């Protein structure tokens, strides 16, 4: 048997008692992860469901996710993996759709998961397409009417019903779910429309900001290092205080810096920038050594090649292009002979290798972000039903809410969980 694969447990959902299958018409706005999940659970519970998607097909982000592999869930998700005004908002949903339940659900729609040691899960096919194919077939079989190329432009409510308006039609429904996602990755159909709809019903929208995103640096040298990739420990510094340390890949780029370690610190960095705080990063290019050991290593390296120029010598421990600009920042000419360096200069170099600072000026923007922080305030949503506390019959699920997850399957995790709860509850 393949590592991480358990034998399939088949899972069915029949219409439970207490569900009103008569005249319960539901509109779901958005055919992404949360909208599809909600449609499936609401339809399976007997409701008459119509899903509106303004793209020509549903689930574009699912297809693009995880570099085409879809990191579909994480076995270890908890409120600690999320940010927002109230990260504990997610706890109930994550309990309802715990990993065991989700895996059974996946089996029921013909999807087998490959579970990695760190809790990340992918489809066994290693292809995001499998996730969409399985989910789409299940939603179609459930009886949901899927309308594509159907951009919702307005949602209004009278005493009893909601009216959902597209450019072509106006339809009345007893309940509406806003599952329009966030502004991240507009090229995949993302829009801020959900916030507009929520606002029109009196909901508070917390300022949005890109997350899981590359950062812009204020330095004249990063464009010259564009394309250079290495491993480093990245420390995020906000208003002079160290906030987070992550070790992983970094990649210099024309605009600044990217890589998994950068994406991992980007939520806090982006939120601080939104709040006009001073943001910088410090790179430790040899994270496995402490400060003193690093000085010893550099001294030993230089002692063994005293006749080399300092750039050539440094290339023994760090990438050549990085060595060039590190020396420039240290104010040491590349051609300086190693034996001509004084102890103070050697210390300075060792110090820079362990703590190379860059000011962060901006993120690379929503277009390049995987997700967005901020959104519809969770304070006005019931986390056990996903229904608005202000408007009866209006529901929210997924990234449109002020919840943003870490990298590692956590964002889909909340989208599936909140979508499932909304779907079940709307069908009641
Ligand atoms: C490149 C990329 C890779 C990612 N990889 C991962 C990953 O591996 N793991 C992970 O956990 N997360 C990943 N994410 C994040 C994840 O895709 C989202 O968190 C998740 O899709 C959110 O689901 P949602 O249903 O809330 O929103 P979405 O999936 O964005 O769905 C919203 C839908 O609403 C539609 N819509 C918007 N406005 C309207 C309107 N007015 N009328 C009709 N339709 C409308 C949109 O077209 C969209 O289809 C990735 C994101 C990106 C961009």
Average pLDDT in the 36-43 region? 98
Is there a contact between 342 and 368 (Cβ–Cβ < 8 Å)?
no
Reference 138, options 41, 223, 230; nearest CA is 41
Distance 346 CA to ligand 1 centre (A): 50
Distance 106 CA to ligand 1 centre (A): 19
Looking at the predicted structure, is the pLDDT value of residue 357 above 50?
yes
**pLDDT at res. 23:** 74
In a domain, 153, yes or no: yes
- Rounded CA gap, 50 and 304, in Å? 73
pTM of the model: 0.94
Q: Whose CA is nearest to atom 35 of ligand 1?
A: 30
In a domain, 16, yes or no: no
In a domain, 308, yes or no: yes
What number does the ligand 1 atom closest to the CA of 409 have?
11
Looking at the predicted structure, is the pLDDT value of residue 2 above 70?
no
Q: How far is CA 70 from CA 93, 264, 407, in A?
A: 21, 17, 12
In a domain, 10, yes or no: no
Q: Whose CA is nearest to atom 4 of ligand 1?
A: 65
The pLDDT confidence band at residue 17, using thresholds 50, 70 and 90, is low
Handedness of CA 233, 238, 244, 250 (dihedral sign): negative
Q: Do residues 256 and 385 both lie within one domain?
A: no
Q: Do residues 48 and 193 both lie within one domain?
A: yes
Task: Give the list of residues 6+ apart from residue 243 with CB closer than 8 angstroms, or none.
Answer: 236, 237, 268
Distance 193 CA to ligand 1 centre (A): 13
Last residue of a domain, one of 364, 390, 416: 364
Q: Which residues line ligand 1 (CB under 6 A)?
A: 29-35, 52-55, 60-61, 64-66, 70-71, 151-152, 179-181, 184-185, 188-191, 193, 370-371, 398-400, 409-412, 415
pLDDT digits (tens, 9 = 90+) for 251-290: 999 999 999 999 999 999 999 999 999 999 999 999 999 9
- Rounded CA gap, 371 and 406, in Å? 9
Is there a contact between 114 and 5 (Cβ–Cβ < 8 Å)?
yes
Last residue of a domain, one of 336, 364, 392: 364
**pLDDT at res. 188:** 96
Distance 28 CA to ligand 1 centre (A): 14
Distance 147 CA to ligand 1 centre (A): 17
Looking at the predicted structure, is the pLDDT value of residue 35 above 50?
yes
The pLDDT confidence band at residue 30, using thresholds 50, 70 and 90, is very high
Distance 157 CA to ligand 1 centre (A): 26
Q: Which of 41, 61, 165, 189 to mutate to test the pocket of ligand 1 (most atoms within 8 A of CB)?
A: 61
**CATH number of the domain bearing residue 377:** 3.50.50.60
Q: Do residues 306 and 164 both lie within one domain?
A: no
What number does the ligand 1 atom closest to the CA of 369 have?
53
The pLDDT confidence band at residue 20, using thresholds 50, 70 and 90, is very low
Looking at the predicted structure, is the pLDDT value of residue 15 above 80?
no
- Rounded CA gap, 388 and 87, in Å? 17
Distance 195 CA to ligand 1 centre (A): 14
Q: Which domain, by its residues, includes 322? A: 214-364
Q: Do residues 407 and 309 both lie within one domain?
A: no
Q: Do residues 270 and 393 both lie within one domain?
A: no
Q: Do residues 356 and 395 both lie within one domain?
A: no
In a domain, 17, yes or no: no
- Rounded CA gap, 345 and 331, in Å? 9
The pLDDT confidence band at residue 421, using thresholds 50, 70 and 90, is very high
In a domain, 237, yes or no: yes
pLDDT digits (tens, 9 = 90+) for 67-101: 999 999 999 999 999 999 999 999 999 999 999 99
Distance 254 CA to ligand 1 centre (A): 27
3-state helix, strand, coil in the chain (%, to 5): 35, 25, 35
Q: Which of 27, 28, 30, 152 to mutate to test the pocket of ligand 1 (most atoms within 8 A of CB)?
A: 30
Distance 287 CA to ligand 1 centre (A): 35
Distance 357 CA to ligand 1 centre (A): 34
Average pLDDT in the 191-207 region? 97
Please state, rounded to an integer, the average pLDDT across all residues of the chain.
Answer: 94
How many domains are there within the chain?
2
In a domain, 261, yes or no: yes
Distance 310 CA to ligand 1 centre (A): 49
Is there a contact between 177 and 36 (Cβ–Cβ < 8 Å)?
no
Q: Whose CA is nearest to atom 30 of ligand 1?
A: 181
Q: Do residues 53 and 29 both lie within one domain?
A: yes
Q: Do residues 353 and 392 both lie within one domain?
A: no
Distance 411 CA to ligand 1 centre (A): 9
Last residue of a domain, one of 310, 333, 364: 364
In a domain, 4, yes or no: no
Tell me the Cα Rg of the chain: 25
Q: Do residues 250 and 388 both lie within one domain?
A: no
What number does the ligand 1 atom closest to the CA of 71 have?
8
Q: Do residues 297 and 257 both lie within one domain?
A: yes
Q: Whose CA is nearest to atom 47 of ligand 1?
A: 189
Q: Which of 76, 169, 180 to mutate to test the pocket of ligand 1 (most atoms within 8 A of CB)?
A: 180
Q: Do residues 34 and 159 both lie within one domain?
A: yes
Q: Which of 34, 56, 62, 65 to mutate to test the pocket of ligand 1 (most atoms within 8 A of CB)?
A: 65
What number does the ligand 1 atom closest to the CA of 74 have?
11
Q: Do residues 353 and 381 both lie within one domain?
A: no
Q: How far is CA 337 from CA 289, 295, 312, 344, in A?
A: 25, 18, 10, 15
């Amino acid at each position: 048997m393949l590592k991480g694969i358990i034998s399939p447990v088949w899972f069915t959902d029949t219409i439970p008692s207490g569900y009103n299958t008569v005249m319960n018409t539901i509109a779901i706005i958005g055919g992404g992860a949360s909208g599809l999940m909600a449609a499936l659970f609401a339809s399976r519970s007997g409701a008459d469901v119509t899903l509106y998607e303004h793209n020509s097909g549903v689930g574009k982000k699912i297809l693009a996710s995880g570099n085409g592999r879809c990191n579909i869930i994480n076995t270890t998700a908890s409120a600690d993996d999320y940010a927002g005004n109230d990260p504990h908002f997610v706890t109930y949903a994550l309990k309802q759709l715990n990993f065991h339940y989700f895996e059974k659900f996946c089996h029921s729609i013909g999807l087998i998961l490959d579970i990695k040691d760190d809790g990340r899960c992918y489809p066994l096919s290693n292809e995001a397409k499998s996730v969409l194919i399985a989910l789409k077939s299940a939603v179609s079989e459930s009886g949901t009417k899927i309308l594509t190329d159907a951009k919702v432009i307005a949602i209004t409510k009278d005493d009893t019903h909601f009216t959902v308006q597209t450019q072509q039609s106006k339809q009345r429904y007893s309940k509406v779910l806003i599952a329009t996602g966030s502004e991240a990755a507009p090229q995949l159909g993302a829009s801020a429309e959900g916030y507009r709809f929520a606002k029109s019903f009196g909901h508070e929208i917390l300022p949005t900001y890109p997350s899981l995103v590359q950062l812009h640096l204020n330095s004249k040298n990063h464009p010259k290092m564009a394309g250079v990739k290495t491993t480093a420990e990245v420390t995020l510094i906000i208003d002079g205080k160290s906030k987070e340390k992550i070790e992983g890949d970094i990649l210099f780029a024309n605009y600044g810096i990217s890589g998994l370690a950068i994406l991992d610190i980007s939520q806090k960095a982006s939120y601080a920038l939104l709040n006009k705080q001073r943001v910088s990063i410090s790179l430790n290019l040899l994270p496995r050594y402490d400060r003193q050991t690093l000085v010893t290593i550099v001294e030993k390296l230089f002692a063994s090649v005293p006749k080399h120029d300092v750039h050539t010598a440094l290339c023994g421990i760090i990438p050549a292009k990085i060595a060039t600009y590190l020396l420039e920042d240290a104010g040491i000419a590349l051609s300086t002979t190693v034996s001509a360096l004084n102890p103070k200069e050697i210390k300075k170099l060792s110090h820079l290798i362990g703590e190379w600072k860059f000011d962060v000026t901006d993120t690379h923007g929503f277009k390049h972000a995987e997700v967005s922080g901020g959104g519809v305030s969770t304070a006005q949503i019931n986390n056990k039903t996903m229904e608005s506390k202000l408007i009866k019959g209006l529901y929210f699920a997924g990234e449109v809410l002020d919840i943003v997850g870490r990298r590692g399957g956590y964002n889909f995790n909340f989208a599936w969980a909140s979508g499932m709860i909304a779907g079940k509850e709307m069908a009641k």
